[in-house]
Structure 1
Amino acid sequence: MSRKIFVNVCTQDLRRSIDFYTALGFTLVEDFSNEQAACLRLTDSIYVMAVTEGFFTETVTNGVSTSGTQVVLALELGSREEVDEVADKALAAGGEKAKDPMDEGFMYGRSFLDPDGHHWELMWMDAAAA
């Protein structure tokens, strides 16, 4: 059975989030978006739901934390070049570098914070060499 994941991220500025994620290659799914949330498709099984803070607060029971990282979103990509391409797009679109690139030869990664401070890790790994 194929499953989908919808990662919900709280945003202070919905338009900024839409612009940021579409600059990275996500596709806005307008049928599942409104003034409170935007559905952004990365693949047929991975989506980001950028949700306004007010609406996000209504969906959780233990409050919304804005002090520090609560989750790291990790995404495997197809090559070192694709890691660099997506990371560079993120920085150009308003993200900021989270930490220095990691290069272990068989594994390569870069990270960024989106405009709302959500931590993303991009990585490529040569499974055969690992």
Structure 2
Amino acid sequence: MSDTIHLMLSEESVFITFSPRAVCDTSNYLEVLNCLKCSSRVEIDDLVRKAVAVGGCTVEEAEDHGFMYQHSFLDPDGHAWNLFHTTETP
């Protein structure tokens, strides 16, 4: 994702080999909430659009708090991603 953030995505058949614990049913349970700081509102909107285009979904509208803009999505496997951008204050 960047020079300092790396993301590994695996097929479930590979993922289950990493742990003896069962993979949860993400249609009923939230397994993980990933939060990423983005460089701009445009980056957030673009990532949400891309996620929805490949089978993800949004569960709420984007929120503008003035100092912070955020939006979130569930990826096709049901994992939650919260994206946010904060403005610099003087």
- The reply to whether TM is greater than 0.5 is yes
Tell me the alpha carbon deviations over residues 61-107 of structure 1, each in whole angstroms, 9 at most, x when there is no partner: 33211131111111111111221122122222321113221211110
Q: Distance in 2 between matches of 1:84 and 1:53?
A: 28
Could you say which structure has the higher strand fraction?
A: 1
SS in 1 for 2:51: helix
Q: Where do 5+ consecutive residues of structure 1 fail to align? A: 1-41
- The one of 64, 73, 79 aligned to 1:103: 64
1:9 is matched with: none
- TM-score in terms of structure 1 length: 0.60
- Of 2, 9, 13, the match for 1:54: 13
Amino acid at match of 1:75: L
SS of the equivalent of 1:47 reads coil
* Corresponding position of 1:27: none
Q: 1:98·1:119 contact (CA, 8 Å) conserved in 2?
A: no
Q: Cα distance 1:60–1:81, how it changes in 2: closer, same or farther (>3 A)?
A: same
- Equivalent residue of 2:6, what SS? strand
Percent identical residues: 36
Answer whether contact 1:73 1:119 (CA < 8 A) is retained.
yes
Return the structure number with greater relative CO, CA threshold 8 A, min gap 6. Answer: 2
19, 40, 43: which one aligns with 1:79: 40
> SS of the counterpart of 2:81?
strand
Q: Does 1:121 align with 2:82?
A: yes
Q: Distance in 1 between matches of 2:11 and 2:54?
A: 19
Runs of 4+ in 1 over 3 A off after TM superposition: none
For these two proteins, the number of residue pairs brought into alignment is 88
For 1:62, give the aligned amino acid: R
Q: TM-score, normalised by structure 2?
A: 0.83
